[in-house]
Amino acid sequence: MTETTDPLVLFMPSGKRGRFPVGTTVLEAARTLGVYVESVCGGRATCGRCQIEVQEGQFAKHGITSSNDHISPVGPKEKRYAEVRTIPEGRRLSCSATIQGDLVVDVPPDTVVNAQVIRKAATDRTFPRNPAIQLCYVEVDEPDMHKPLGDLDRLNLMLEKDWGFHDILVAQHLLPDVQKTLRKGNWGVTAAIHRDLDTSRPNMIALWPGLHNEAYGIACDIGSTTIAMHLVSLLSGRVIASSGTSNPQIRFGEDLMSRVSYVMMNPDGREAMTKAVRQAINDLTIKVCAEAGVHANDILDAVFVANPIMHHLFLGIDPTELGQAPFALAVSGAVHTWSREIDLAINHGARVYCLPCIAGHVGADAAGATLSEGPHRQDKMMLLVDVGTNAEIVLGNRERTVAASSPTGPAFEGAEISCGQRAAPGAIERVRIDPETLEPRFKVIGVEQWSNEDGFAEAAEKTGITGICGSAIIEVVAEMYLSGVISTDGVVDGGMAAKSPRILENGRTFSYLLHDGAQKITVTQNDVRAIQLAKAALYAGIKLLMEKLEVETVDTIRFAGAFGSFIDPKYAMVLGLIPDCELSEVKAVGNAAGTGALMALLNRDYRREIEDTVTRIEKIETALEPHFQQLFIDAMALPNKVDPFPKLSAAVTLPERKVLAEGDGEGGGRRRRRSRE
């Protein structure tokens, strides 16, 4: 078809529409139009999150005749999915179904899983204040025919006399209004002076008539999944509003590498993703300003942290080089720019500062977390880890610090897990399994009660029980290990089927039935394997850094990031996600990257600290380390094949070690047992 006769597709309830060539997947069309259709698996037709419905009939208002004949027949991917999990009648998987004619497509509310829970909050810590912005009120001499000095020159003289600022560089956008502003203020004005380095030339970035005592900044963490922002008073140092939102780039790709691929395959891909993330930041700015009753024009400074790919896309830099060895950053040092250069909806003269990146896949967010938690400031050996699709690891103390990234994959975020999903109402977030009966009890986001408590069923009707989020994935696999459902090598023990009907046979493997309701939620052998692979990648990366520092143990562990805030330290250690440590020394520190951005916003001395620290952090590339593979293999076992966990064993009763071979029929024909280490 030609461009003018390409099928017209209308998405409801958003009302967004567009024309697309025949053969375009419905998911691709949705992403192009900015319609949110969840796809955890990245279009592999395995998660079932991208379900849509075709509305049939004539829609005169929109000039569309929609029919199921205008969408491709059910293909092999959808048939394969339907064999594993049911699809409600009339629904299709938008990642597989292609457009063949005009369509009205309905995105059912239950497939969006309500709205994602944004779990990045402000810190309650306080920091010394030394911002890069200073408000300076001066009273300027009126013009004098006997002293032919320009209005701006007299203003600069008073700023030097009263405030000590020499050789001020005045932002170009202020020049046309200087005279008007001086007269409006009856020769009394407030200038906003920006000076980051003590040795740098001071910049006048804003000017108001009279006395103006409002100056704000934003500290923002651009994550691949969520964006979190704090609005801060630069005068008091208080966080006056915080908010978060989903990163709209998700529609271009669930994980970082898929977004790089999108840029490589689409000529306008980089521009589209840059525009999307900047618009989301502007929307978030409007939201926090409305919450605090602040005018966006009073935001004079902004600090950003992000992983390397988000960092590049935010700044309008093509991230293609980060998708292939040697993973070269376009810029690794701190970035100083102007809000107007990157289309931010704050004061026209506001400055923007991005923290430095540590390495190709250890970004400014890891630098922010390092600044926040300060392993480089203490004697203890601290492990700082941000668990995500690409885990960022920092290990060290004041003597030496090393960092690496480890490709954990998206399993902890719900992808590659048969019933996995992001943290949203209806998702199971906590799990306990009775070791005697193998009966589970669980907690669901949006419901106060546990599943075995009165009132749970009624409350859960409102949210549904829709899947398992990341924190519960860790807990359920760990609980399955503690209760003997899975062996040390991660095999679901089919022999347990005689003990409980919750052990289900799936051909040559077995699964565990967590919930049997409108949505049947099971943990399959493949799910366990996905978690093993993810945790082994992380642990191997950590062990590699420990070997580099020649240490056998760590003194303290800090989980950073939104996901880390909801990981139970005990279950993380049982799983073998982190090395053995006193459980009291394992703490979640929330959005440490955002806290680092906040610190750099409030005190420019912190900017110098992290810029210096990053140059001294040793970067380890796990892919180039020959021992990484062996560490990975050992880490596949629960908690680990060779590493003892004496501190964990003192706090938790670990099961007797048993090793099973997959496909042992009744679950243990070739079982061999070893004593617990």
How confident is the model over 184-200, as pLDDT tens digits? 999 999 999 999 987 78
Using N-to-C axis directions, what is the helix angle for 256-265 and 269-292, rounded to 10°?
A: 130
* pLDDT higher than threshold 60 for residue 342: yes
Q: What pLDDT score was predicted for residue 552?
A: 94
The span from the CA of 524 to the CA of 513, in Å, is 9
C-alpha dihedral sign at 144, 148, 149, 151: positive
Could you tell me the two tokens for 527? 């799910």
* DSSP helix, strand, coil percent of the chain (3-state; round to 5): 35, 25, 40
Count CA within 13 A, CB hemisphere, residue 204: 25
Q: What is the DSSP string of 389-431?
A: SSEEEEEE-SS-EEEEEE---SGGGTTTSTTB--S-TTEEEEE
Calpha distance 56→23 (Å, rounded): 19
The per-residue pLDDT for 669 is: 40
Buried b (16+ CB within 10 A) or exposed e, 441-457: ebbbbbbeeebeeeebe
Average pLDDT, the chain: 88
Amino acid at 37: V
Q: pLDDT tier at 121 (50, 70, 90 boundaries)?
A: very low
For the cut 90, the answer to whether the pLDDT of residue 290 exceeds it is: yes
Among 42-51, 368-377, 458-467, the minimum mean pLDDT is found in: 42-51
- Dig out the tokens for 6 from the structure: 């390409």
Is 566's pLDDT higher than 90? Answer: no
Please check whether residue 598 is in contact with residue 238, taking contact to mean a CB–CB distance below 8 angstroms: no
Tokens of 204: 């006048």
Q: Cβ atoms within 10 A of the Cβ of 63, count?
A: 10
Task: Give yes or no for residue 670 having a pLDDT over 50.
Answer: no
Region 93-107: what's the mean pLDDT?
Answer: 92
User: Can you spell out the DSSP letters for 76-112?
Assistant: HHHHHHHHHS---TTEEETTT-BB-S-EEEE--GGGG
Q: What are the φ and ψ backbone dihedral angles of 636, each rounded to 5 degrees?
A: -70, -30
CA torsion through residues 155, 159, 165, 166, sign: positive
280 has a pLDDT exceeding 90? yes
Q: What is the pLDDT of residues 454-480, one digit of tens each?
A: 999 999 998 899 899 888 999 999 999
pLDDT value at residue 1: 45
Mean pLDDT computed over 23-33: 89
More confident residue, 117 or 124: 124
DSSP letter at 313 equals H
> Among 175, 31, 174, which residue's Cα sits nearest to residue 105?
31
* pLDDT confidence band for 248 (50 / 70 / 90): confident
DSSP state of 342: G
pLDDT for residue 309 is more than 90: yes
Q: Inform me whether the pLDDT recorded for 8 exceeds 80.
A: yes
The answer to whether residues 493 and 452 touch, using CB atoms and an 8 Å cutoff, is: no
φ and ψ of 26, to 5 deg: -60, -35
Query: What is the length of the chain?
Result: 677
Q: Report the pLDDT value the prediction gives residue 668, as an integer from 0 to 100.
A: 43
Q: What is the pTM of this model?
A: 0.79
User: Which has the minimum average pLDDT: 81-90, 322-331, 336-345, 431-440?
Assistant: 81-90
